[in-house]
Structure 1
Amino acid sequence: MRIISLHVDGLKKAAEQGLFEWLNEEQADVVCIQNTLDREYKLPDSVLYPDGYNGYFFEGETDDYSGVAIYTRELPKAIMTGLGFPGCDFQGRYIQADFEHVSIGSILFPKEDAFHSLEDKLAFQQEFLSHLKKTRRKRRDFIFCGNFEAAHKTIDVANWRQQQDESGFLLEERAFLDQVFGPVGFVDAFREANFGENQFTYWPNEEARRRNSEGFRFDYQICTPDLRQFVVESKILKNQVFSSHAPVLVEYEFDDE
């Protein structure tokens, strides 16, 4: 199963830039999209019903803000939206597709900006951490894909010494990821197959992206520990430009494939 996660900064715009043609070339089975920035009813049929995919969407209560989507080749058994707390559900930040043995979610964390404080972001982290703990008690596997708006380790940040006081690499933000990949027991699927340095998914401008400088690895696929053995490939597709974030591809070879 090839899963691609991508923060698009506008789904309609990404489609106009050839998103779905590229996804077919990549033979993606599941595509997790964040920051759709549009209402479902405003999207053209080419985005709602792209060739080869079933599309599902979750939007916030405010127009042109946030929003997530998930596209699947195989029909899922169920679709779930929201995580049960206002910071997620009112802003359209989570959607999940359930298959026979695995559930795959697309999630968008808030970033510290004019609309959200650092406290908002940290509160969202804690709510999601509680959700992750609950999933570990369930008898099925999970993959959560999305923009977590935080880099974990120094290898995940360019010029990390200069970034320690910047949002996205604060100790408070990184402590959440320490919990996710530590006591809670989730796995950074990307790092199961790719140990390279300078593996970034976000850059503040085009020049930084071209030079692969000033980057952060904000975008993750995290999975329950039983799935780590099935990760066979992971890569960041830096040269495929749909937004300020790069697509993250992870391939899983499940036993029943």
Structure 2
Amino acid sequence: MKLISWNVNGLRAAVRKGFVDTFNDFNSDIFALQEIKLSEGQLDLKLDGYEMFYNYAERKGYSGTAVFTREKPLNVTYGMGIEEHDSEGRIINLEYDDFYFITCYTPNSKRKLERLEYRMVWEDDFRNYLNNLNGKKPIILCGDLNVAHREIDLANPKTNRKSAGFTDEERNKFTELLNAGYVDTFRHFYPEQPEEYSWWSNFANSRERNIGWRIDYFVVSNGITKDLKDAKIHQSVMGSDHCPVELLLK
């Protein structure tokens, strides 16, 4: 089974940049998107053979997620059931026989860390949400989780210690998540592989110079590790300031 996750930084813009060709080239079983920046009815996208699910933010042109799947889910839910968190379209959960597939676009703490306090609340509530699901069946979580967990996960760790996405607080919350019974699949296969990033700033030719951050993930329940085949970061795929990430299951 091939799973893809991609923060497209605006799905309409991505479509103009060749998204459909990229989507078809991947030929995935499930394809998850973050930051679609859509309202209902703004895009008429047809993908043969796929069921399509969207979670739109209430605010226009902001946030939002989508999942396109070949396999019909048993059930689909949106958000984590907490009003404080569920107006921005950040979570879609597809339930299957053997697992939950969840895509998430984690809130950014912003440049002056003005949203860091809220982010800490989100992290605790989201971890509890995942743990409740994981008590029923394993989970596969993907998305832009807006944190570079380790120093190896960004090009300039020393100068970014107090930057959104690399604060001690955010990194510690990701550690708490993993310690609760989950695996960062890319680091499972490539624990010390450097210069593997999934997002680059639009400034100073950061992508060409590979001055990036790894903030897009597939995270799975510990019990699924035996079924993992490989994890990939597709740095050469253009169309967004992020690149797609992939998980292969046996």
> Which TM-score band applies after superposition, normalised by the shorter structure?
over 0.9
Q: Which residue of 2 aligns with 1:197?
A: 194
1:239 equivalenced with 2:236 (yes/no)? yes
Paired-residue identity, %:
29
Distance (Å, rounded) in 2 between the aligned partners of 1:7 and 1:74 = 22
Structure 2 residue identity aligned to 1:89: D
- Which blocks of at least 5 consecutive residues in structure 2 are unaligned? none
Is the CA contact (8 Å cut-off) linking 1:202 and 1:218 kept in structure 2? yes
Distance (Å, rounded) in 2 between the aligned partners of 1:157 and 1:72 = 31
Residue 163 of structure 1 is aligned with which of 149, 160, 164? 160
Residue 50 of structure 2 is aligned with which of 53, 62, 65? 53
Instruction: Name the SS for the 1:41 alignment partner.
Output: coil
Structure 2 residue identity aligned to 1:18: G
Distance (Å, rounded) in 1 between the aligned partners of 2:114 and 2:122 = 11
1:131 equivalenced with 2:129 (yes/no)? yes
TM-score (norm 1): 0.91
What is the correspondence of 1:3-82 to structure 2 with a 5 Å cutoff? 3-44=3-44, 47=45, 49-82=46-79
Is the CA contact (8 Å cut-off) linking 2:110 and 2:164 kept in structure 1? no
Matched length: 247
Quick one: structure 1 residues 116 and 14, their matched pair in 2 at CA, closer, same or farther if it must change by over 3 Å?
A: farther
Structure 1 residue identity aligned to 2:188: E
Structure 1 residue identity aligned to 2:20: F
**1:243: Cα distance to partner?**
1.2
Instruction: Name the SS for the 2:5 alignment partner.
Output: strand
**1:33: Cα distance to partner?**
0.5
Distance (Å, rounded) in 2 between the aligned partners of 1:205 and 1:80 = 34
Is the CA contact (8 Å cut-off) linking 2:99 and 2:140 kept in structure 1? yes
Distance (Å, rounded) in 2 between the aligned partners of 1:105 and 1:174 = 21
Residue 187 of structure 1 is aligned with which of 163, 183, 190? 183
Q: Which residue of 2 aligns with 1:83?
A: 80
**1:116: Cα distance to partner?**
5.7
Instruction: Name the SS for the 1:86 alignment partner.
Output: coil
Is the CA contact (8 Å cut-off) linking 1:38 and 1:65 kept in structure 2? yes
Distance (Å, rounded) in 1 between the aligned partners of 2:85 and 2:91 = 7
**1:136: Cα distance to partner?**
2.8
Distance (Å, rounded) in 2 between the aligned partners of 1:70 and 1:172 = 29
Query: RMSD over aligned Cα, in angstroms?
Result: 1.6
Q: Which residue of 1 aligns with 2:210?
A: 212
Q: Which structure is higher in helix share?
A: 1
Residue 109 of structure 2 is aligned with which of 98, 112, 133? 112
TM-score (norm 2): 0.94
Distance (Å, rounded) in 1 between the aligned partners of 2:186 and 2:48 = 28
Distance (Å, rounded) in 2 between the aligned partners of 1:87 and 1:94 = 13
Distance (Å, rounded) in 2 between the aligned partners of 1:122 and 1:18 = 36
Distance (Å, rounded) in 2 between the aligned partners of 1:87 and 1:18 = 35
Distance (Å, rounded) in 1 between the aligned partners of 2:155 and 2:108 = 19
Structure 2 residue identity aligned to 1:197: P
- Which blocks of at least 5 consecutive residues in structure 1 are unaligned? none
Instruction: Name the SS for the 1:40 alignment partner.
Output: coil
Is the CA contact (8 Å cut-off) linking 1:88 and 1:94 kept in structure 2? no
Q: Choose 52-61 or 166-175, whichever is displaced more.
A: 52-61
